[in-house]
């Protein structure tokens, strides 16, 4: 009976990635949860706090592609160890800042460290999951992020209330270092390097995964001349603009824009983020079903276009709403749609990225984080100019509509990173 109850190694690896994403978003949302306290401590305006948030995102965007390239060249294990160790140190140092200048500098260095976490996690999925289970792998990844965001208010606000706003950053740094130790002792890049994996599981993965062992340079010209890639990247730019509102500005928006108390925000925020956990869990099941029914190309299109449409309606309602319950419901729906859209974008990169998934997802995430950077800069500035927290929301609404329309050009059945032995004439026949 015991062997049948053992969790397959590939799912243990996905659990490791789940906790990686959980810690990532716990770290990332901490500054927004204690943002009002930080603003009061250093007497920051919304524009100055936007500079702090944007410092992280700018560094994160600039180092996404290099970190993805490193993962494809050196192996994801080595790069993920470097990433989490670096960001854990600078997360802790955030609690030691003395003013606006040091806060911006530390958050920039924190962003440098965290860059590449998603691309290299997708690279791990391409190595460890059969093609038929890649969406399921993305579900593990996707559940970790909103779980971290959901539990963050309960942990961070409680610690900050008891010990001050600096203490949560020290706590998060220790958590990251624990993950580094576990990864270093147990995880390996490939199934064949894992001593206790069964021969049957090893063969199942290696014979059916998206990753192949052929080494090749990333075909930048081929990729950047492809209109489909630009449609995918533009869509991700739009959704990351919205994502960074939820991650960085939503707690302030609820308190200052919608007049929630800190306690109401603490209770409301986990509820909103929890919708993302449900979305990520259902993503693999629903996506696999839709793709089997409609095909990979139509399936991915339908999922993204429908979710972008629903999210646009939810955000529009939240802008007009005064009632707190209606605002919460709108954000719950928005959070649900957001997570599955993000996962669908990354899953598409796994579909079309061959053995350069980390680099392709790094390039896509670079475009997305430019959207997040601009959002973090513009949101506070627009609020200060218009004296309204609703004004920047209309810009986000317009971008969500654009993001959905971009998916009319995306075809996840066309592999754009080809195996070396394949000719260019086979590009649009590759699946």
Please give the residue range of the domain that contains residue 113: 2-191+199-429
Supply the mean pLDDT for the chain: 88
Question: Could you give the CA distance from residue 163 to residue 356 in angstroms, rounded to a whole number?
Answer: 45
pLDDT at 307: 97
In the chain, the number of structural domains is 1
| 27-83 confidence digits (pLDDT tens) | 988 998 898 899 999 999 888 988 998 899 899 889 988 988 898 888 899 999 999
Element (DSSP H or E) covering residue 84: helix 76-94
Q: Are 21 and 346 in contact (CB under 8 A)?
A: no
CA dist 309 and 316 (Å) reads 11
pLDDT in tens, 199-229: 999 989 888 886 766 566 678 888 888 999 9
- For the segment 287-334, what is each residue's pLDDT rounded down to a tens digit? 888 888 898 899 999 999 999 999 999 999 999 999 999 999 999 999
Alpha-carbon distance 20 to 13, whole Å?
A: 11
Strand partners, 209: 130
> Taking Cα atoms as reference points, which of 407, 406, 424 lies closest to residue 415?
424
Instruction: Give the predicted TM-score (pTM) of the model.
Output: 0.79
Instruction: Say what the pLDDT of residue 188 is.
Output: 93
Q: Are the CB atoms for 328 and 272 separated by under 8 Å?
A: yes
Given a contact cutoff of 8 angstroms between Cβ atoms, the answer to whether 160 and 34 are in contact is yes
- pLDDT tens across 67-97, in order? 888 988 888 999 999 999 999 999 999 999 9
Tens of pLDDT, residue by residue over 358-376, are 788 888 989 998 998 898 8
For residue 52, what are the CA distances in angstroms to 290, 381, 384, 405? 41, 13, 16, 32
Residue for token pair 């990351």? 240
Angle at Cα 335 formed by Cα 111 and Cα 91, nearest 5°?
A: 25
Give the integer Cα–Cα distance in Å for 219 and 62: 20
Domain with residue 335: its CATH number is: 1.20.1250.20
What are the angstrom distances between the C-alpha of 168 and each of 155, 255, 386, 418? 8, 20, 33, 45
């Amino acid at each position: 009976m015991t062997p049948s109850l053992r969790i397959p190694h590939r799912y243990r690896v996905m659990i490791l990635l789940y906790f990686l994403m959980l810690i990532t978003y716990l770290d990332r949302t901490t500054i927004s949860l204690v943002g009002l306290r930080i603003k009061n401590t250093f007497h920051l305006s919304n524009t100055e706090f936007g500079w702090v948030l944007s410092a992280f995102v700018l560094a994160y965007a600039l180092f996404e592609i290099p970190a993805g390239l490193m993962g494809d060249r050196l192996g994801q294990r080595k790069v993920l160890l470097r990433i989490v160790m670096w960001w854990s140190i600078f997360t802790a140092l955030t609690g030691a800042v003395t003013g606006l200048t040091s806060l911006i500098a530390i958050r920039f260095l924190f962003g440098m460290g965290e860059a590449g976490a998603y691309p290299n996690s997708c690279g791990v999925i391409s190595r460890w999951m059969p093609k038929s289970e890649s969406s399921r792998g993305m579900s593990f990844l996707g559940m970790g992020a909103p779980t971290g965001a959901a539990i963050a208010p309960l942990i961070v606000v409680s610690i900050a209330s008891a010990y001050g706003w600096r203490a949560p950053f020290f706590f998060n740094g220790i958590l990251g270092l624990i993950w580094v130790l576990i990864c270093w002792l147990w995880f390996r890049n490939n199934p064949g390097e894992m001593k206790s994996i069964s021969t049957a599981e090893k063969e199942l993965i290696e014979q059916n995964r998206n990753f192949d062992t052929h080494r090749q340079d990333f075909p930048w010209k081929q990729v950047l001349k492809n209109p489909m890639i630009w449609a995918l990247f533009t869509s991700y730019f739009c959704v990351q603009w919205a994502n960074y509102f939820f991650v960085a500005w939503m707690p302030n928006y609820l308190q200052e824009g919608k007049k929630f108390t800190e306690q109401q925000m603490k209770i409301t925020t986990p509820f909103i983020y929890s919708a993302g956990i449900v979305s990520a869990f259902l993503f693999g099941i629903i996506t696999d079903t839709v793709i089997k029914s409609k095909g990979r190309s139509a399936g991915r299109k339908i999922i993204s276009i429908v979710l972008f449409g629903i999210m646009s309606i939810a955000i529009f309602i939240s802008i007009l709403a005064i009632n707190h319950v209606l605002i919460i419901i709108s954000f719950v729906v928005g959070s649900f749609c957001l997570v599955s859209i993000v996962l669908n974008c990354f899953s598409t990169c796994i579909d079309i990225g061959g053995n350069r998934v980390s680099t392709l997802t790094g390039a896509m995430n670079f475009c997305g984080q430019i959207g997040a950077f601009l959002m973090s800069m513009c949101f506070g500035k627009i609020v200060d100019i218009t004296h309204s927290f609703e004004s920047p929301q209309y810009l986000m609404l317009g971008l969500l509509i654009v993001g959905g329309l971009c998916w009319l050009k995306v075809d996840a059945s066309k592999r754009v990173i080809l195996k070396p032995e394949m000719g260019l004439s086979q590009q649009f026949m590759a699946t």
